[in-house]
């Protein structure tokens, strides 16, 4: 089940049913099923608080992904992804402006970025950022295809 919540911000104008179908389709391309996924849309203050409290990082970010897929393993489903994804809408907006893209496209990129992490794609090591960007772009093309149908 995929849930969408807010903390200190207004819910972004996303088509939840379409986004949920997209997330499931992307996960399936990695041989994964979607378990319990919780999106929490928040502001920069909240993401900084979460970053400090749980990761001991003292900076803003667009997304923090907590991977609970190991919990799904306990149920015997090693192919199931699960987690909570905190997304700062403030940082998404700033990134969109800096990248010269639309807010909606950047929001979709960040939404799927966390799912890609849960599917095993990393972006911190050598060459991994390019792989993540390529996979994000493939996922965004899939979203555009699903929305046009």
Burial pattern 29-57, b for ≥16 Cβ within 10 A else e, equals: eeebebbebbbbbbbbebbbebbeeeeee
Residue range 133-142: average pLDDT? 96
Which residue bears the tokens 């295809």? 145
**Per-residue pLDDT at 60 exceeds 70:** yes
Whether the predicted pLDDT of 73 surpasses 80: no
**112 near 140, Cβ under 8 Å?**
yes
The domains located in the chain, with CATH, are: 2-148 (3.40.390.30)
Percent of the chain with pLDDT over 90: 87
Beta bridge partner(s), residue 6:
41
Sheet holding 63-67, edge to edge: 2-7, 33-42, 80-88, 63-67
pLDDT over threshold 80, residue 74: no
With a CB cutoff of 8 Å and minimum separation 6, the contacts of 55 are: 64
Confidence (pTM): 0.92
Residues sharing a CB contact under 8 Å with residue 119, sequence separation 6 or more, in sequence order? 26, 27, 30, 32, 81
For 135, the 3-state DSSP assignment is helix
Q: Dump pLDDT digits (tens) for 3-43.
A: 999 999 999 999 999 999 999 999 999 999 999 999 999 99
Q: Position of tokens 């987690």?
A: 83
First to last CA, the chain: 23
Instruction: Return the percentage of the chain with pLDDT > 70, whole number.
Output: 95
């Amino acid at each position: 089940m995929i849930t969408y919540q807010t903390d200190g911000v207004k819910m972004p104008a996303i088509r939840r049913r379409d986004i949920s179908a997209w997330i499931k389709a992307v996960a399936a391309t990695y041989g994964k099923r979607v378990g319990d996924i919780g999106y929490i849309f928040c502001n920069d203050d909240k993401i900084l608080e979460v970053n400090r409290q749980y990761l001991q990082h003292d900076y803003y970010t667009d997304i923090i992904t907590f991977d609970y897929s190991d919990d799904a393993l306990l149920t015997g489903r090693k192919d199931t992804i699960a987690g909570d994804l905190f997304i700062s809408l403030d940082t998404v907006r700033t990134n969109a402006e800096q990248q010269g893209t639309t807010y909606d496209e950047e929001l979709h990129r960040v939404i799927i970025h966390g799912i890609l992490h849960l599917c095993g794609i990393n972006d911190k090591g050598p060459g991994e950022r390019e792989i993540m960007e390529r996979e994000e772009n493939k996922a965004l093309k899939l979203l555009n295809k699903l929305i046009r149908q």
